Amino acid sequence: MSPVELPVASMRGACIPLLAQLGEERSDLVALGADGRSIFEELARRFPDRFVDVGIAESSLIGVAAGLARAGKVVVVSAIASFLLRRAYEQIRVDVADPGLPVKLVGVGGGLSYGTLGPTHHMVEDLALTRTMPNMAVFVPCDAFQAQAALRAALDWPGPAYVRLGTGDEPLIHRESSALAPGEPEVLRSGEDLLIFATGGCVREALQAADELAESGLRAGVVNVHTFHPWRRESFQELLDRTGIVLAVEEHSRVGGIGDALAGICCGRPVRFAQLGIRAEYPPVGARDELLSFFGLDRPAIVQAALRLLGNVL
Amino acid sequence: MKPPVSRVEDSAPSLGGDLGRLADAARRIRLHVIRMAAVKRVHVGPALSIVEILTLLLCLPFLKRQGSLDDPRRDRFILSKGHGALALYGALCEAGLLPAAVLAGFGQPGNPLAGHPVCGIPGVEVPTGSLGHGLAIGCGLALAARMDDLAFKTVVLLGDGELGEGSVWEAAAFAAHQRLGGLVAIVDCNGCQQEGPTREILNMEPLEAKWRAFGWQACRVDGHGLPALSEALSAAWERRDVPSVLIAETVKGKGIPFMENDPGFHMSWLQGELLDRALAALEVDGDVAG
């Protein structure tokens, strides 16, 4: 059976009207771009005095945001995720995260979503970098609807927050935008034999893998992990204990992402656990789907890993 | 864009008859630095070069607190060269913003004063320690002032060695592009960084030309001469159309002759004879507790 094609939408596109609406709701909201203003186009049109483009200067972007936040503003900044977090890491850590300032970082093009643009534009360690920062909420929406919910949750969070967006049109997992419960795992599909925990673009792959496993009579549940901090450990523990067989799948380095986070909970529990993630290797030129296959994160790879895990106990 | 609101209290203060009082304050700030350097190994030389600058900013004071330290109209100060912390602590104490008891407890368990101005120290607006961060934060504060029609000034004190950080120049370009007239930068040009003369390690001269080329109002001034420094600060205070920078010619270790221009005193722990000599230079007997 070929997987069902889902309707698609852009996370960034979904955030454009929401940012304008948030600007309407909060007079203290200020937005900064670094030669990337498309996500702010509606906000900037409606509130031209509350948007500033700092140019191609990510370190300056974060420093200016920190200064604005110290003067009482809630600041939304957006840039390509790899430049934002790698170039300005120290400014984010020291000037924003340590003092807990309300600067909301929106990283565009998380994971492998920039595909053929090459590894300078891939961002596969953003969760590891942001999870280790004090005060920082970390959201990884899996589709355009959830991107809206994540952005709103980031604004509601009192301190700094990071939101990982993809780029271009991506499949819609949800049918509407509904509030996101920060820190809670989102069970998209229940299953008694195995639970697949997935993030971002891998959620679609996990759902399709679960479909394929169902054809063999295997009931695989799929859990979307949309938040890394805050993190409701008890909720995750409960889910792990329910099936005892767990596969983590992420469009992120194997180090510091969902696999590591879940392994930490599995430790000392009777859970059979495996993780799929991105190994530290220079990738070939390829579109996102090709790169997911290269790193063993696509539907067939997830099915294979699930069968291996189940085979060990059947 | 609306012009900043102008208020009487925003005008620059006048040195007037305060020279003697301020020279005394500067001497006491140096004494605070030396006393802290007697407790443990700390940055001494880079603190001593900024004493007169901090004296004018905090003790004259150029920086107005308005109603309180929470007042949104207050002027802001960022010690971007965070390793000048000891002079900042001394100046905050002389300005009545940091209790003398806190200063006296430097280095003791539970004391909040770190080797760099960390979060939570009374009077410290922005914690610093990693170089190259302060000017961009100052840009954000100056931008917020303009957005909110507030006339407060933001002053950022940088080291000349710090100018090697590229992020300084990102912020310099931004400030000029945005015409942030509320922003004043001061470069503590002591010509001497940790490993030796700045001109030999990474020569950033000619500094005035560089800042002017970026769009700043720039002037060079004696960073230890209170009248000259006060005049230059006043001129910067009055500029509202572009950001201003003072290239303050200073001496690392200023005021303690055996430390002056010696990179060996970038960090030091003053004990025994060294301590006695330093105190003697400030015309104080060897009583450290004094």
Smallest Cα distance from A89 to chain B, Å: 12
Token pair in block for residue B26: 């500067």
Same domain, residue pair A161 and A190: no
Cα A242 from Cα B211, distance rounded (Å): 64
Same domain, residue pair A138 and A27: yes
Q: Give the pLDDT band of residue B65 (cuts 50, 70, 90).
A: confident
Would you say residue A3 has pLDDT above 60?
no
Mean pLDDT of chain B: 93
Would you say residue B75 has pLDDT above 90?
yes
Q: Give the pLDDT band of residue A2 (cuts 50, 70, 90).
A: very low
Cα A24 from Cα A40, distance rounded (Å): 13
Q: Considering only alpha carbons, which residue of chain B is nearest residue A68?
A: B140
**pLDDT tens readout for residues B140-176:** 999 999 999 999 999 999 999 999 999 999 999 999 9
Would you say residue B290 has pLDDT above 70?
no
Same domain, residue pair A48 and A164: yes
Same domain, residue pair A213 and A98: no
Across A208-229, average pLDDT: 96
Cα A200 from Cα A249, distance rounded (Å): 10
Q: Is residue A274 part of a domain?
A: yes
Across A56-78, average pLDDT: 98
Across A28-41, average pLDDT: 96
The pLDDT, as a whole number, for residue B169 is 98
φ, ψ (nearest 5 deg) of residue A147: -60, -40
* CATH number where A275 lies: 3.40.50.920
Q: Considering only alpha carbons, which residue of chain B is nearest residue A59?
A: B167
Token pair in block for residue B4: 């900043």
Q: Give the pLDDT band of residue A4 (cuts 50, 70, 90).
A: low
Tell me which of A312 and B78 has the higher pLDDT: B78
**pLDDT tens readout for residues B38-51:** 999 999 999 999 99
φ, ψ (nearest 5 deg) of residue B98: -130, 120
Same domain, residue pair A164 and A211: no
Give all domains of chain B, ordered by start, each with its CATH number: 21-281 (3.40.50.970)
Same domain, residue pair A81 and A215: no
Q: Give the pLDDT band of residue A165 (cuts 50, 70, 90).
A: very high
The pLDDT, as a whole number, for residue B10 is 62
Across B76-85, average pLDDT: 97
Q: Considering only alpha carbons, which residue of chain B is nearest residue A49?
A: B147
Q: Do B144 and A95 touch (CB under 8 A)?
A: no
Smallest Cα distance from A161 to chain B, Å: 18
Same domain, residue pair A162 and A22: yes
Mean pLDDT of chain A: 95
Q: Do A63 and B135 touch (CB under 8 A)?
A: yes
Tell me which of A42 and B284 has the higher pLDDT: A42
Q: Do B171 and A63 touch (CB under 8 A)?
A: yes
**A171, A200, A233 — which closes off a domain?**
A171
Same domain, residue pair A195 and A139: no
Q: Tell me, yes or no, if A52 comes closer than 8 A to chain B by beta carbon.
A: yes
Q: What is the ipTM of this complex?
A: 0.94
**A171, A203, A225 — which closes off a domain?**
A171
**pLDDT tens readout for residues A176-216:** 888 999 999 999 999 999 999 999 989 999 999 999 999 99
DSSP state letters, B141-173: HHHHHHHTT----EEEEEETGGGGSHHHHHHHH
A98 to chain B: which residues are within 8 Å by CB?
A: 119, 127
| Nearest residue to B154 (alpha-carbon basis) of B84, B237, B97 | B237
Top residue of A60, A62, A73, A76 to mutate, by most chain B CBs within 10 Å, is A60
Cα B48 from Cα B259, distance rounded (Å): 9
When CB atoms are compared, the residue of A66, A69, A99 closest to B119 is A99
Across B92-99, average pLDDT: 95
Same domain, residue pair A203 and A135: no
Place of tokens 């340590």: A98
* CATH number where A23 lies: 3.40.50.970
Same domain, residue pair A144 and A224: no
Top residue of A54, A61, A83 to mutate, by most chain B CBs within 10 Å, is A54
When CB atoms are compared, the residue of A49, A64, A94 closest to B140 is A64
Full domain range(s) for residue A152: 9-171
Cα B198 from Cα B161, distance rounded (Å): 6
A47 to chain B: which residues are within 8 Å by CB?
A: none
The pLDDT, as a whole number, for residue A5 is 66
Smallest Cα distance from B166 to chain A, Å: 9
Q: Tell me, yes or no, if B143 comes closer than 8 A to chain A by beta carbon.
A: yes
Would you say residue A14 has pLDDT above 90?
yes
| Total count of domains within chain A | 2
